Amino acid sequence: MSKYWNEEIECMSREDMKKLQSERLVTQVKHVYENVPYYKKLMDEKGVTPDDINGIEDLHKLPFLTKADLREAYPYGLLAKPLSDCVRIQSTSGTTGKRVVAFYTQNDIDIWENCCARAIVAAGGTKDDVCQVCYGYGLFTGGPGLNGGSHKVGCLTLPMSSGNTERQIQFMMDLKSTILCCTPSYAAYIGESLKEMGYKPEDNKLKAGIFGAEPWTEEMRREIEKSLGIKAYDIYGLTETSGPGVSFECEEQTGMHINEDHFIAEIIDPKTGEVLPEGSKGELVFTSITKEAFPLLRYRTRDICVLTREKCSCGRTLVKMSKPMGRSDDMMIIRGVNVFPSQIETVLIEQGYSPNYLIEVDRVNNTDTLDISVEMNAEQFSDTIKDIQKKEAELVAAIKTMLGINPKVHLVSPKSIARSEGKAVRVIDKRKLH
Ligand code: DLL
């Protein structure tokens, strides 16, 4: 059994990979220019035509694409294939109104699932494995992506989705799961629950975990590895570029190999947009060179990281990205859901509150907590506790509708939230992630 899913690609020489990327980029730029008026306009504005793009050395000439573009072009504005050629949509978590909607042709799905298969094989997966997928299924890409990859590898796939931890554990034990796929915080929670139920790490048959979709530390990795008795592998991706599997960790556990035959990665200075030399810390930008329905050229992920081409002992030559070290915008990931403070502010103002609020995020027992203190004005201030509790419950419901997760809301008396003399501090993230 090979330790690679696609050895030819995963261990390709740098020269051959550059050639492959260049060919694919040239074709992709033409495809996009001819089929997506939104892109044509962006490129025309920058004075670039497909004739200017002859290989990856010309990549920097293309305009960037941002989440704001995706929102503006919602829902069909970036579609590069007729809708009748598309077989699936997936969407980002946690945003209402104009969500990011990604489209897939059958070929796009096949490529995506093969990327996930590479991750599973890199974690030691074979057709003899039982792969328990407890990422969410549905619009979120985690469940469908790893599910598809697991099928490709030929693992016996348990499409559990997230939640119902007791049932997860029962299936894990009864069906002898060997690979666990979920967010790192859920893996830690499963580890804790197993212990509480009286199991020792050696009682389960798990050998590996493939964890991603949110930031996690090396300390957390060690904790999870100990509590479950496994080796824990990181996996990265975003809805815009298809989902999980843009990059994946190998046994060396020192960063994630990017599937460069499908995604060209660049690191830029988030302020100036200038491309930075290899090894620099900056914002990760991806160009998808094989996607048919929803190709993105120079998409700014807002994730801050470092790329390295140091030789990897696993034999793969694919460039490695570090764990994301933060974001160049204010997006937080809370219980796996992408949350912007502005979304919370919008709800508060819609509900008649002032923009005096404080968002506190923490991680307690491996679960993210979200506490929002909101100031009442003199009219809203009531001395009956029941009244305040009712108002708090209304706000919780409105925020839950917006974000999809339940916050704790604390209504506080007028003028009790400290006013700032400079930039207001509206978010305190106490999670020690980096
Ligand atoms: O989280 C896709 C995914 C699913 C990745 C399952 C891995 C496993 P989105 O919901 O669009 O997609 O969120 C994308 O999540 O820009 C990063 O900020 C963050 N993220 C994803 N993977 C990691 C990771 C999925 N391994 C956003 N480490 C990205 C840190 C991650 N952050």
- Residue 121, domain CATH: 3.40.50.12780
- Mean pLDDT across the chain: 93
- The verdict on 137 and 240 lying in the same domain is yes
CA of 214 to the centre of ligand 1 (A): 5
Tell me: do 76 and 128 sit in the same domain.
yes
**pLDDT number for residue 244:** 97
Does the C-beta of 102 come closer than 6 Å to ligand 1?
no
257 CA from centroid of ligand 1 (Å): 15
State whether 257 and 406 are in the same domain: no
Going by pLDDT thresholds of 50, 70 and 90, the confidence category of residue 92 is confident
Based on the fold, state whether residues 15 and 33 are members of the same structural domain. Answer: yes
Enter the pTM of the model.
Answer: 0.89
- Average the pLDDT over 88-115 and give the result: 87
Q: Assess whether the C-beta atom of 245 lies below 6 angstroms from ligand 1.
A: no
Question: Mean per-residue pLDDT for 312-333?
Answer: 93
68 inside domain: yes
132 lies in the same domain as 143: yes
Q: Would the CB of 236 count as within 6 Å of ligand 1?
A: yes
Q: Is residue 434 part of a domain?
A: no
Which of 329, 352, 373 corresponds to the end of one domain?
A: 329
| Domain region containing 393 | 332-429
Q: Is the CB of 149 under 6 A from ligand 1?
A: no
**Co-location of 320 and 302 in the same domain:** yes
The pLDDT value recorded for residue 56 is: 98
Distance from the CA of 52 to the center of ligand 1, in angstroms? 33
pLDDT above 70 for 422:
no
Distance 196 CA to ligand 1 centre (A): 29
How many distinct structural domains can be found in the chain? Answer: 2
| Cβ partners under 8 Å of residue 359, min gap 6 | 341, 344, 370, 371, 372, 426, 427, 428
Task: Say whether both 133 and 246 belong to one domain.
Answer: yes
205 and 74 in one domain?
A: yes
101-105 vs 86-91, strand pairing mode: antiparallel
What CATH code is carried by the domain that includes residue 341?
3.30.300.30
Ligand 1 pocket, 215 CB below 6 A?
A: yes
Residue from 303, 327, 368, 429 to probe ligand 1 pocket by mutation (most atoms less than 8 Å from CB): 303
pLDDT(249) > 70: yes
Q: Please, which pLDDT band fits residue 384 given cuts at 50, 70 and 90?
A: confident
Residue 434 clears pLDDT 50, i.e. is over it = no
Identify whether residues 300 and 337 lie together within a single domain: no
Distance 212 CA to ligand 1 centre (A): 6
Do 342 and 412 have their domain in common?
yes
249 lines ligand 1 (CB under 6 A): no
Mean pLDDT, residues 221-229 taken together: 94
pLDDT digits (tens, 9 = 90+) for 181-224: 999 989 988 998 999 999 999 999 999 999 999 888 888 899 89
